[in-house]
Structure 1
Amino acid sequence: SVEINNSRLTGDFVADDTSVLNVTLRNNARLDGNIINGNSLVIDSSGYWQLAADNSIKSLAMDGGSVGFSEDAFHTLTVGRLSGRGVFDMRIDLDNGVGDLLNVAGEAT
Structure 2
Amino acid sequence: MKVSVITVVLNAVDTIEDTIKSVIDQDYEDIEHIVIDGGSTDGTLDVIDRYREKLAATVSESDDGIYDAMNKGIDLATGAVVGTLNSDDWYENNSVISRVVAAFENDVDLDAVYG
- TM-score relative to the length of structure 2: 0.28
Of Structure 1 and Structure 2, the greater helix share is in: 2
RCO higher in structure (CA 8 A, sep ≥6): 2
The TM-score with structure 1 as length reference comes to 0.30
